[in-house]
């Protein structure tokens, strides 16, 4: 036996050559613990040697025979055609003519033997043939390649009429092959998907395939296998054109990751993809429960990371076309209102959400004001400094008259906030009446109120109101004073509307005289 194998195996020749020089070959014992394919591979190699260097090489044993030939160094030929390695390499050159089922068998053998490295030539050839077959199938009228074998009993899909009808019934023409490839490992699926992307296959179909694979495998996988599958799905989608990946798909992947400890790299990729499409998300998408050990009801930090990714990837484009930014602002205001009643939500997190987007993202701050109202009501124990800090998220110039009216009577807000809201309304009225830009010093936020005394004199009326408000010690007196100011603001608004309607009706020749008469009466009302 030793002599027969040594005729075809370089490894055996080396082993017996060393033992012969030692003197005794009868007691030689050779153990191979890592023989490719185990007993089946060894038997295939023996059959080749005992048949005088001939054996039936077919797709079902080609991978096994090639690995055995490489392991045993069966490179030298004793007779014609006796080089097993050369025979297998020649057969691999014909993979383009194999049936679909034969390709799957070869892929399965590569996986079972452990040939999953990036440098494995056989694996590359099998994958390339599979992708080439899928390219042809996507261009053909039939969902099954013409080279399918009718005797592929080990696999579900064949080209007999019964199987073809089953394919047409259960899968579309572009997805007939999904279930055939579910047996692959996550590594091979990722390798296959990336090769498909390089071959310009339909990215929507590729996305559907990896999601189908995820659904089919996750339910029966261990925790580590689930983690590897999800990381593969994320990596494949990250390499796609993001216009081919829906926001719904990404949030579906996110829900699966909540119970898995996936790598930080994969998590960042997923969050960046979601952030770039945040304008397509819904409120339900953002209501993700907080991780274990966090007291907040919802994962606020996750939403903040979404916003950071959105601004990083889309900020420049949104300056030119602010539609997407405004959609995100609307969504964020809904989210803030939803989480505001959470008693465990810290003021710093609430304010971080309120100020995450630039001012131009919102045309109105009414929704944010109502969310703040809810938050301050639930967190009634906040000190004056904390309440003032929260109010820094408001732009009083973008509050409606109704919101300002409500704020002026709202005891949950600091008194300075009420005064500043009324000042902003007065400034807007002056702008309407006189056609001059607003000169209120409280345009951006109430935070500037603390520096009002240090910056010198502002508008006389604004300064008087701020200084006067600082003298109030009694909340009831302050409330009465603010109500009086509120009615005067409403009276000015009525006069302004009346002036505008009348001035639009009269002729140009009477506009100046009428305008002068109205103007003479205004100081009495506004004094």
pLDDT score recorded for residue 15: 67
With a threshold of 0.75, does the pTM exceed it? no
Query: What residues form DSSP beta bridges with 298?
Result: 289
Mean pLDDT calculated for residue range 289-301: 90
pLDDT at 56 over 70: yes
Mean pLDDT calculated for residue range 2-14: 66
Q: At what angle do helices 264-276 and 247-257 cross, to 10 degrees?
A: 150
Confidence band, pLDDT 50/70/90 cuts, at residue 433: low
Mean pLDDT calculated for residue range 438-462: 40
Confidence band, pLDDT 50/70/90 cuts, at residue 322: confident
pLDDT score recorded for residue 12: 67
Q: Which residue has the higher pLDDT, 140 or 421?
A: 421
pLDDT score recorded for residue 351: 95
pLDDT score recorded for residue 25: 52
pLDDT score recorded for residue 495: 65
> How many residues are there in the chain?
527
pLDDT at 300 over 90: yes
Is there a contact between 427 and 440 (Cβ–Cβ < 8 Å)?
Answer: yes
Report which DSSP code applies to 367: H
Mean pLDDT calculated for residue range 318-328: 78
> Each residue of 77-105: pLDDT tens digit?
655 556 777 777 777 777 777 889 888 98
> Each residue of 163-203: pLDDT tens digit?
445 444 444 667 889 999 999 999 999 999 999 999 989 99
pLDDT at 153 over 70: no
Confidence band, pLDDT 50/70/90 cuts, at residue 69: confident
Confidence band, pLDDT 50/70/90 cuts, at residue 310: very high
pLDDT score recorded for residue 43: 72
List, in order, residues 6 or more apart from 490 with CB less than 8 Å away: 401, 405
Is there a contact between 386 and 347 (Cβ–Cβ < 8 Å)?
Answer: yes
Percent share of the chain, pLDDT over 70? 63
Query: What residues form DSSP beta bridges with 289?
Result: 298
Q: Which residue has the higher pLDDT, 473 or 374?
A: 374
Confidence band, pLDDT 50/70/90 cuts, at residue 498: low
Domains of the chain plus CATH, in order, are 1-18+31-117 (3.30.710), 176-261 (no CATH)
Nearest to 53 by CA among 72, 92, 81, 76: 81
Measure the CA–CA gap between 243 and 266, rounded to whole angstroms: 19
Number of Cβ atoms within 10 Å of the Cβ of 226: 21
pLDDT score recorded for residue 470: 42
């Amino acid at each position: 036996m030793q002599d027969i194998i040594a005729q075809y195996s370089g490894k055996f020749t080396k082993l017996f050559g060393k033992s012969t020089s030692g003197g005794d070959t009868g007691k030689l014992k050779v153990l191979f613990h890592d023989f490719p394919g185990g007993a089946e591979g060894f038997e295939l190699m023996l059959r080749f040697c005992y048949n005088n260097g001939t054996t039936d090489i077919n797709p079902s044993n080609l991978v096994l025979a090639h690995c055995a030939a490489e392991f045993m160094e069966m490179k030298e030929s004793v007779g014609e055609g006796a080089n097993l390695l050369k025979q297998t390499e020649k057969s691999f050159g014909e993979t383009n003519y194999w049936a679909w089922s034969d390709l799957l068998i070869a892929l399965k053998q590569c996986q079972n033997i452990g040939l999953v490295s990036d440098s494995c030539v056989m694996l590359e050839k099998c994958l390339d043939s599979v992708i080439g077959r899928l390219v042809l199938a996507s261009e053909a009228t039939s969902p099954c390649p013409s080279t399918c074998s009718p005797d592929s009993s080990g696999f579900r899909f064949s080209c007999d009429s019964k199987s073809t009808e089953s394919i047409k019934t259960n899968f579309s023409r572009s997805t007939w092959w999904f279930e055939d490839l579910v047996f692959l490992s996550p590594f091979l699926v990722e390798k296959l998907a990336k090769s498909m992307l390089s071959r310009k296959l339909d990215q929507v179909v590729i996305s559907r395939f990896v999601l189908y694979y995820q659904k089919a495998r996750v339910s029966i996988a261990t925790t580590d296998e689930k983690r590897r599958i999800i990381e593969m799905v994320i990596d494949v989608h990250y390499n796609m054109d993001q216009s081919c990946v829906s926001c719904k798909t990404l949030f579906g992947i996110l829900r699966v990751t909540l119970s898995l400890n996936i790598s930080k790299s994969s998590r960042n990729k997923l969050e960046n993809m979601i952030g770039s499409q945040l304008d397509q998300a819904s409120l339900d998408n953002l209501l993700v429960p907080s991780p274990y050990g966090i007291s907040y009801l919802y994962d606020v930090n996750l939403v903040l990371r979404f916003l950071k990714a959105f601004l990083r990837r889309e900020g420049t484009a949104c300056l030119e076309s602010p539609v997407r930014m405004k959609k995100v602002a609307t969504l964020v205001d809904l989210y803030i209102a939803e989480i505001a009643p959470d008693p465990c939500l810290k003021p710093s997190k609430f304010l971080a959400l309120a100020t995450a987007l630039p001012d131009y993202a919102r045309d109105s701050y009414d929704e944010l004001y109502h969310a703040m109202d809810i938050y301050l009501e639930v967190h009634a124990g906040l000190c004056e400094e904390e309440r003032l800090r929260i109010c820094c998220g408001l732009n009083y110039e973008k509050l409606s008259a109704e919101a300002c009216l409500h704020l002026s009577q709202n005891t949950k807000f600091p008194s300075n906030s009420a005064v500043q809201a009324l000042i902003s309304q007065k400034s807007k009225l002056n702008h309407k009446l006189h056609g001059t830009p607003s000169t209120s010093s409280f345009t951006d936020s109430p935070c500037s109120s603390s520096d009002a005394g240090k910056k010198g004199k502002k508008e006389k009326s604004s300064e008087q109101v701020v200084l006067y408000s600082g003298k109030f010690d009694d909340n009831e007196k302050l409330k009465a004073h603010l109500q009086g100011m509120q009615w005067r603001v409403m009276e000015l608004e009525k006069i302004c509307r009346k002036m505008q309607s009348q001035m639009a009706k009269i002729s140009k020749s009477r506009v100046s005289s009428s305008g002068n008469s109205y103007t003479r009466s205004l100081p009495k009302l506004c004094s």
